[in-house]
Amino acid sequence: MTSLRTPLGWVLRGMAVLGFVYLLGPLLVIVAASFSDTGYLAFPPQGFSLRWYQAALADQRYLNGFFVSLRLGLMVAALSLVIGTAAAVALTRFAFPGSTLLEALFLSPLVLPALVLAVALTLFFAANPIAPPGMTRLVISHLLVGVPMVLRVMLPVLRRVDPAIEEAARNLGASPIKAFFLVTLPVLRPGLIAAAALAFIFSFDEVEMALFLGSVRDAPLTVVLYGAAQMQMDPTVAAVSSMLILLALLLMVAQQMYANR
Amino acid sequence: MNGDLNARRGLIAAGLLAPAALIFATLFIWPQLGLFLQSLGGPPTFSRFLGDSYYLGVLGNSLMLGVCVTLVTLVLGFPLAFLLARAETRWAGLLLLLTTFPLWVSAVVRSFAWMVLFFRSGVASRLLQGTGLVPPDFQLIGTFTGVVIALAQVLLPIMIVTLYAVIRGVDRDLEHAAMNLGASPAVAMWLVTLRLARGGVLAGSLLVFSLSVSAFATPSLIGGARAHFMAVTIYEQTLELLDWPFAAAIAAILLVISLSVALTYGKLLGEKNR
């Protein structure tokens, strides 16, 4: 690191430290504030108390919201994984005219603002009520981003897998379906886990489509938090936020440990 | 026989693609076309938007927000990405992981963290009140500056990840060669690293710009009732004022902005690969 022992190196380092504080500081602030023994949001916290956590866990809206988000995230992850991987297999293993165009179309929701998708879907469902408001609408709407996320992970993974190993299994007498499940699928497993995690996190954290397409009864946690944060500076929101930060940390660590195994 | 096999393969491919194709046809292509049709039908919505100084101001605000957030994330993101890409310790992996951690947390939660700092008796607002440059009851909530600070933090990991990937690809030997030929480290970084990484700088900037212009949660929570930004206006028109043709028109304008940015981005990547 010779070049970093110069004045420029120190300027860069100083700015990098500043960047880190800026990036992670607010998350620490919220965790610290959630333990404050005051009736209002205080940072630096005064005293130490778990009462805002008690309040959060006793509040039916947050509890209900958490389970709605959990159900939503799991369903979107599972469906995106199946639909996205099937499409990725078709796009990489079968040459057909227009496949590049179809791939570009399938990936395009990733570059469009979530809010534009949400408005278009709101107008669409108003004119064509093909799904009841609430959970069903939210799941199928989230698939519009979940499937491209799975595709973006699985397309390069599938292109790297050598089709020869599948052929070898076939030559040894396995049917095409058996060869796929016994040979190709285990190779794809890390990619599949990463893709499912991405789709889950997207759906669990998403707020725009949830605000537009969810119902009051099936309000995901992000929507409940968005409403609560708008109303007042309530320490309960800080407690719920801290629990979500902890959950994200656990998920990230789990994913890392799995990926490095 | 061969024809049979081809037909069977075609059938399998169609079966694998069918669920995704069905979802995209009904929930993507149809609604997006509907959005344009809805905005064109009925009263003249586009001329209402483009002829009203209030709405032009909203568009200007969003574009300005995009420029400011892009600049802040570039200035803070480049040193971080550069050091992470060039670090040789085993901590580098952990530090990179930490920079991407905020992406696992909902933008609502991350914006709320800034609300804690920004409200009237929050630390950041009190610091500013202490300088005497702002009135004693000043708060960063509801200000453009506040939205820039919060949104830049929300989008910073995306800039860092994009820059990191490109800087990793720049050969370190070229930096060393420049210094061996007498360039100072600063000049070497300017002439070699930044030049070679400019594709990544541009790509990251376009990505962050596009996301800032269309951002909703952060501008809405930090900007409060006076958040005159595109996405917030669309939200109000759709869910509060129920003026759907007008909401569709504003969404279509936002869509065109995002698509032109995405096409520029794709073209840049295409040129780089050639």
pLDDT at B274: 44
Say if domain A53-259 classifies as CATH 1.10.3720.10: yes
pLDDT at B270: 67
Between positions 203 and 222 of A, the ones with CB within 8 A of B are 204-208, 211-212, 222
Mean predicted confidence (pLDDT) in A116-126: 92
Q: Residue B218's closest CA among B157, B167, B117, B149?
A: B149
Residues of B in contact with A233 (CB under 8 A): 115-116, 119
Binned at pLDDT 50, 70 and 90, residue A250 comes out as very high
Q: What is the pLDDT of residues B67-124, one digit of tens each?
A: 999 999 999 998 899 888 887 777 888 888 889 999 999 999 999 999 988 887 777 8
Contact A116 B238 (CB under 8 A): no
Separation in Å, CA of B232 to nearest CA in chain A: 9
Mean predicted confidence (pLDDT) in B38-53: 80
pLDDT at A70: 95
SS (H, E, C) B39-60: HHCCCCHHHHHHCCHHHHHHHH
Q: Residue B141's closest CA among B120, B126, B123?
A: B120
Mean predicted confidence (pLDDT) in A113-126: 91
- Residue entry with tokens 């973006």: A152
Separation in Å, CA of B17 to nearest CA in chain A: 5
Q: What is the mean pLDDT of chain B?
A: 85
Per the model's pLDDT, the better-predicted residue between B130 and B191 turns out to be: B130
**Residue A152 predicted with pLDDT over 80:** yes
ipTM score of complex: 0.87
Contact B214 A141 (CB under 8 A): no
pLDDT at A3: 52
A222 touches A210 (CB < 8 A): yes
**Residue A1 predicted with pLDDT over 50:** no
**Residue A105 predicted with pLDDT over 80:** yes
Mean predicted confidence (pLDDT) in A99-111: 89
Contact B254 A115 (CB under 8 A): yes
- Residue of B104, B115, B174 best to disrupt the A interface, most CBs of A under 10 A: B104
List where CATH 1.10.3720.10 sits in chain B.
45-273
Q: How far apart are CA B58 and CA B253, in angstroms?
A: 12
Per the model's pLDDT, the better-predicted residue between B101 and A93 turns out to be: B101
Mean predicted confidence (pLDDT) in B250-254: 91
**Residue A4 predicted with pLDDT over 70:** no
SS (H, E, C) chain A: CHHHHCHHHHHHHHHHHHHHHHHHHHHHHHHHHHCCCCCCCCCCCCCCCCHHHHHHHHCHHHHHHHHHHHHHHHHHHHHHHHHHHHHHHHHHHCCCCCHHHHHHHHHHHHHCCHHHHHHHHHHHHHHCCCCCCCHHHHHHHHHHHHHHHHHHHHHHHHHHCCHHHHHHHHHCCCCHHHHHHHHHHHHHHHHHHHHHHHHHHHHHHCCHHHHHHCCCCCCCHHHHHHHHHHHCCCHHHHHHHHHHHHHHHHHHHHHHHHHCC
- Residue entry with tokens 């696992």: B104
Nearest to A112 among B99, B122, B258 (CB): B258
Q: Give the A:B interface size as CB pairs under 8 Å.
A: 244
Percentage of chain A lying above the pLDDT 90 cut: 43
From A89-103, B5-19, B127-141, the region with the lowest mean pLDDT: B127-141
Mean predicted confidence (pLDDT) in B151-157: 95
**Residue A5 predicted with pLDDT over 70:** no
Mean predicted confidence (pLDDT) in B239-263: 88
Question: Which chain A residue has its CA at the smallest distance from B119's CA?
Answer: A233
Contact A12 B175 (CB under 8 A): no
Q: What is the pLDDT of residues A195-214, one digit of tens each?
A: 999 999 999 999 999 999 88
Q: What is the pLDDT of residues A16-46, one digit of tens each?
A: 889 999 999 999 999 998 888 877 777 777 7
The whole-angstrom distance between residue A49's C-alpha and the CA centroid of its chain comes to 31
Separation in Å, CA of B53 to nearest CA in chain A: 23
**How many CB atoms are closer than 10 A to CB B162?**
22
Mean predicted confidence (pLDDT) in B189-209: 82
Q: What is the pLDDT of residues B121-147, one digit of tens each?
A: 777 877 777 787 777 778 888 889 999
What are the helix and strand counts (H, E) for chain B? 15, 0
Mean predicted confidence (pLDDT) in B156-185: 83
**Residue A2 predicted with pLDDT over 50:** no
Mean predicted confidence (pLDDT) in A116-127: 91
A190 touches A27 (CB < 8 A): no
Question: Which chain A residue has its CA at the smallest distance from B263's CA?
Answer: A111
Nearest to A105 among B24, B235, B248 (CB): B24
Fold of B45-273: MetI-like fold (1.10.3720)
Q: What is the pLDDT of residues A214-223, one digit of tens each?
A: 888 889 999 9
Contact B116 A233 (CB under 8 A): yes
Contact A114 B216 (CB under 8 A): yes
pLDDT at A77: 97
**Residue A48 predicted with pLDDT over 50:** yes
pLDDT at A240: 93
pLDDT at B1: 47
The pTM score is 0.88
Mean predicted confidence (pLDDT) in A55-83: 94
Nearest to A3 among B75, B117, B179 (CB): B179
Give the three-class secondary structure for B242: coil
Contact B235 A211 (CB under 8 A): yes
pLDDT at B234: 92
pLDDT at A28: 92
**Residue A168 predicted with pLDDT over 60:** yes
Residues of B in contact with A206 (CB under 8 A): 106
Q: Which residues of B204-231 are buried (b: 16+ CB within 10 A; e: fewer)?
A: bbbbbbbbbbbbbbbbbbbbbeebbbbb
Residue A249 sits at the chain B interface (C-beta within 8 Å): yes
The whole-angstrom distance between residue B206's C-alpha and the CA centroid of its chain comes to 8
